[in-house]
Amino acid sequence: MSRIGKKPINIPPKVQVSFDDRTIKAKGPKGELALKLPEPIDVNIENNVITIVRPNDEKKVRALHGLSRALTANVIEGVVNGYTKTLQINGVGYKAEMKGKRLMLSLGFSHPVLVIPPDGIDINSPNPNTIIVNGIDKQLVGQTAAVIRKLRPPEPYKGKGIRYENEYVRHKAGKTTAK
């Protein structure tokens, strides 16, 4: 039995969960999310507890068991608390500023870069060196943060670029002249 797949998911009091036609729908204080589960996996909802059930022990079904449980837990967590990714900008002249709902980045290119957040994602820049990505969908928050980071990933010589808040960038020694 999958260690992750067999763990029950407690439904918080403020959340309404329904399961029909292979889709789990959760509605909470932050919003509403839906998750389509793969074919062999089934769901039991009893006494404010969700359990993910698999019909047999085939290798593919065992893999989907833990995955389905983790994705379902992410949906419940998202509608209750939401998800946040924080990015730091390092480098002389590199900065971020908000233009309405859009993010304008100056990253050393000949032009500013405009980032338009997808639906369901909120981007803030409390100061010129910090970007905060918020949303209820964990995958969409992570993908949006990764797209912003990819615009100017941190380089290993001076550490300039966009990095996650607690990301460690290993520094390399530069070239040395022959003596």
Burial per residue of 13-42, b for 16 or more beta-carbon CB atoms within 10 angstroms, e otherwise = eebebebeeeebebebebeebebebeeebe
The single-letter code of the amino acid at 56 is: N
Tokens, residue 49? 């507890």
Taking the mean position of all CA atoms in its chain, how far away is CA 36? 18
- Mean pLDDT throughout 114-136? 95
What was the pLDDT predicted at 25?
95
Strand partners, 43: 52
* pLDDT tens column, 74-104: 999 999 999 999 999 999 999 999 999 999 9
Give the helix, strand, coil percentages of the chain, each rounded to 5: 20, 35, 45
Stretch 4-11: mean pLDDT = 91
Q: Residue 133's beta-bridge partner residues? A: 85, 123
How would you classify residue 21: left for phi > 0, otherwise alpha for psi between -120 and 50, otherwise beta?
Answer: left
Asked whether the predicted pLDDT for residue 120 surpasses 70, the reply is yes
The predicted pLDDT at position 2 comes to 64
In the predicted model, is pLDDT for residue 178 greater than 80? no
Binning pLDDT at 50, 70 and 90, where does residue 3 land?
confident
Supply the pLDDT for residue 7. 92
Tokens 């999310």 correspond to: 33
What mean pLDDT is reported for the chain?
Answer: 93
Which of these ranges, 36-40, 114-118, 172-176, has the smallest mean pLDDT? 172-176
Segment 130-144 shows an average pLDDT of 96
